[in-house]
Amino acid sequence: MEEKKTVLIVEDERAIVEILKFNLMREGYNTLEALDGEAGLNLAQTADPDLILLDVMLPKMNGFEICSRLREGGFAMPIIMLTAREEEADKVFGLESGADDYMTKPFSMRELMARVKANIRRRSFDLGARASAGVLVEACGIVIDPATFSVSKDGESVDLTQKEYDLLLYLIKERGKVFTREDLMQKVWNYDYFGDMRTVDVTVRRLREKIEADPGKPERIMTKRGVGYYFAP
């Protein structure tokens, strides 16, 4: 039997925690909860959940800071930000701080559950690839070891988040082929619907900052103007 996945809910509104918990448990997940930012960060570090639903406005420490600290500490689990505000700047800021995705409140529970599933499925799929270990993926000085999720650039190890890793692996495996943002949203994020394409752009930018010598003049992850992205052939 497949092991149950654990989702950590960091949210200070108890009513939202309860409804998230109810829905997640019904979908077969274990849940952990924290009602303030500090407790959330602690629990994320000690319990190492499979995914985090992270509210932005929280007592003691906000969601952006929790996200940044987890990424700085090398935690790569998928993080979905729950933002109460509509401002675009917030969404982008959330992605910049290392979140994989965001949803604006009030959100559709069905859509949120679909995103939780998509993010966790991707990870499980990669973990399944451990069995076929030993095959390194290499291109332009980048080496990926899917058995250990480790990535290096010119021999130096690079820390990537889950989605940065997924995106890089996908582009390298299909190197030279140009993908639209919609393609990438579907293949890497596993979304069947039309998501926010900025998620793709921000993830590409973050990835470039980590793997390009000059992120302003990329030589690995290339832009095909008006079309999308590809890994240098």
Q: Dmax over Cα atoms in the chain, in whole Å?
A: 51
CB of 57 or CB of 61, closer to Ca ion: 57
Contacts of 88 (CB under 8 A, 6+ apart): none
Give SS3 for 174: coil
Which residue sits closest to Ca ion, CB atoms considered? 57
Q: Which is nearer to Ca ion, 12 or 174 (CB)?
A: 12
Task: Kindly state the DSSP code that residue 108 receives in the 8-state scheme.
Answer: P
54 or 185: CB nearest Ca ion: 54
Under the criterion CB under 5 A, does residue 57 sit at the interface with Ca ion?
yes
**Residue 9 or 172: which CB sits closer to Ca ion?**
9
Instruction: Find all residues with CB under 8 Å of 132, minimum gap 6, and list them.
Output: 146
Is residue 12 part of the contact set for Ca ion (CB under 5 A)? yes
Listed ranges 5-13, 115-123, 162-170, 171-179: which one lies at the site for Ca ion (CB under 5 A):
5-13
By CB under 5 A, which span of 55-63, 88-96, 118-126, 166-174 interacts with Ca ion? 55-63
Among 55, 90, 100, 164, binds Ca ion (CB under 5 A): 55
Long-range pairs of 220-227 with CB within 8 A, sequence gap ≥ 24: 220/139, 220/140, 220/141, 220/142, 221/168, 221/171, 224/178, 227/178, 227/180
Smaller CB distance to Ca ion: residue 85 or 121? 85
CB of 11 to Ca ion, least distance (A): 6
Q: Closest separation between CB of residue 126 and Ca ion, Å?
A: 31
Q: Which stretch binds Ca ion (CB under 5 A): 52-60, 62-70, 88-96, 119-127?
A: 52-60
Look at residue 18 and give its three-state secondary structure. Answer: helix
**Contact range with Ca ion by CB under 5 A, out of 35-43, 48-56, 165-173, 209-217:** 48-56
Helices 162-173 & 198-211, crossing angle to 10 degrees?
80
Q: What count of Cα atoms within 13 Å lies in the side-chain half-sphere of residue 204? A: 24
Burial grade of 50 (CB within 10 A; 0-12, 13-18, 19 or more): buried
Nearer to Ca ion, 17 or 120 (CB): 17
Per CB under 5 A, residues contacting Ca ion are 12, 55, 57
